[in-house]
């Protein structure tokens, strides 16, 4: 543990309070700003685990310079395995009682840790802060949050009151390390979009209380290198994501016995989003026609047709064809559109 005496850091053998895990990959443009914001924290009892996931730019040099001058910063280098692999690497080496995640292209306010740690009381297992968005590397837009604490029986209200359905990313939160370890929680390395939501939902099932604060101490840089939500992964990865999300949302509703129609619709909309991604993966990746048609016929298409909102005429036509069970015609149209887009 480190504590502040004036401007000096003093080392103690007491267990560290917060471990901050940063997965980095070719982040030379923003990583220095990120690390500087962490070194400026008013809360001093933390460690930073920088997990370099195989960078081939100046990222290692920048990160190692922080590890040299500040013993709270620890640099690790590993073979490229993706962001989930990097976060799991950090979880195995974290020694803090609490875990926080920060992305390499984001930064935080000086009060980021102190504000969240102040909310750790009375059996709280998860702290969720509001955040601010950085647009075009300069403009900052604050996203107002609510201040409240929800008990176990009220957990699903987080998806309406706290809008947790839009905040499934791991950053801007404090997780209790004992829960992560005792329940063997980790990020699903087979899933390349949705692993954040899977981790959060699994964690929520283990929580007694969740505290929401409105410090807006996390600064999220919007789409610095393209939106991952627009990137379609392999059919196997997308099917895995849909299966896990569907199972966990059903467990959440069953666990909390909540008949809230708003929550139910939010979860069905989320499931519909992942059904849509499975459908798209059939036409982004080379897939035999027989497999495409078999996959389409086995999907719960109503989640996509009924609950997931679309705004393009093309996708409305897709929905009509699927709702009428015209899978062959839907398939032919998707193939035609895919070929046209590649020209």
Confidence of residue 256 (pLDDT cuts 50, 70, 90): confident
Give Cα 88 distance to the centre of its chain: 13
SS3 141: strand
Give Cα 142 distance to the centre of its chain: 19
* pLDDT > 60? residue 1: no
Confidence of residue 14 (pLDDT cuts 50, 70, 90): low
Instruction: Give dist(CA 250, CA 247) in Å, integer.
Output: 5
Confidence of residue 257 (pLDDT cuts 50, 70, 90): low
* pLDDT > 90? residue 293: yes
Q: Which of 94, 48, 92 is nearest to 71 (CA)?
A: 48
* Range ranked top by mean pLDDT from 47-51, 193-197, 226-230, 267-271: 47-51
Report the 10 Å Cβ neighbour count for 75: 18
Confidence of residue 159 (pLDDT cuts 50, 70, 90): confident
Strand partners, 2: 11
Q: Strand 8-11 vs strand 2-5: parallel, antiparallel, or unpaired?
A: antiparallel
pLDDT in tens, 55-99: 999 999 999 999 999 999 999 999 999 999 999 999 999 999 999
Q: Report the pLDDT value the prediction gives residue 260, as an integer from 0 to 100.
A: 66
Strand partners, 74: 49
* pLDDT > 90? residue 309: yes
Choose between 331 and 14: higher pLDDT.
331
Instruction: Give dist(CA 54, CA 40) in Å, integer.
Output: 27
* pLDDT > 50? residue 53: yes
CA atoms within 13 A on the CB side of 77: 11
Q: Mean per-residue pLDDT for 229-257?
A: 83
pLDDT in tens, 110-149: 999 999 999 998 899 999 998 888 887 666 776 777 888 9
Confidence of residue 231 (pLDDT cuts 50, 70, 90): low
The pTM score is 0.84
Instruction: Give dist(CA 225, CA 27) in Å, integer.
Output: 11
Q: What radius of gyration, in Å, describes the C-alpha atoms of the chain? A: 22
SS3 197: helix
Which helix (H) or strand (E) covers residue 315, if one does? Answer: helix 313-323
For residue 63, what are the CA distances in angstroms to 25, 31, 73, 94, 225?
11, 8, 9, 17, 20
pLDDT in tens, 167-224: 889 999 999 999 999 999 999 998 888 899 999 999 999 999 999 999 999 999 886 5
Which helix (H) or strand (E) covers residue 67, if one does? Answer: helix 59-69
CA-based diameter of the chain, in Å? 71
């Amino acid at each position: 543990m480190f504590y502040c005496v004036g401007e000096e850091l003093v080392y103690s053998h007491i267990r560290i309070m917060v471990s901050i895990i940063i997965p980095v990959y070719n982040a030379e443009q923003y990583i220095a700003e990120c690390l500087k914001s962490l070194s400026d924290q008013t809360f001093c009892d933390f460690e930073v685990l920088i997990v370099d996931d195989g960078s081939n730019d100046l990222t290692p040099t920048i990160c190692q310079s922080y590890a040299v001058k500040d013993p709270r910063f620890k640099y690790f280098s590993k073979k490229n395995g993706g962001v989930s692999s990097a976060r799991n690497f950090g979880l195995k080496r974290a020694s803090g009682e609490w875990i926080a995640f920060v992305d390499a292209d984001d930064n935080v306010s000086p009060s980021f840790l102190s504000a969240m740690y102040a909310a750790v009381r009375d059996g709280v297992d998860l702290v969720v802060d509001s955040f601010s968005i950085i647009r075009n590397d300069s403009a900052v837009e604050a996203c107002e949050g609510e201040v409240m604490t929800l008990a176990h029986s009220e957990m699903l209200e987080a998806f309406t009151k706290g809008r947790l359905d839009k905040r499934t990313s791991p950053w801007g939160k404090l997780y209790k390390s004992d829960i992560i370890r005792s329940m063997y929680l980790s990020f699903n390395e087979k899933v390349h979009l949705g692993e954040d939501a899977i981790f959060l939902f699994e964690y929520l099932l283990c929580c007694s209380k969740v505290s929401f604060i409105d410090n807006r101490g996390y600064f999220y840089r919007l789409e610095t290198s393209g939106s991952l939500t627009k990137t379609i992964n392999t059919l196997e990865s997308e099917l895995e994501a849909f299966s896990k999300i569907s199972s966990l949302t059903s467990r959440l509703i069953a666990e909390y016995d909540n008949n809230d129609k708003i929550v139910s619709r939010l979860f069905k909309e989320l499931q519909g989003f992942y059904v849509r991604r499975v459908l798209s993966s059939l036409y982004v990746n080379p897939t035999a026609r027989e497999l495409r048609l078999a996959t389409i016929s086995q999907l719960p298409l109503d989640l996509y047709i009924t609950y997931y909102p679309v705004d393009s005429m093309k996708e409305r036509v897709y929905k009509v064809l699927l709702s009428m069970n015209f899978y062959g015609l839907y398939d032919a149209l998707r193939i035609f559109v895919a070929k046209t887009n590649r020209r």
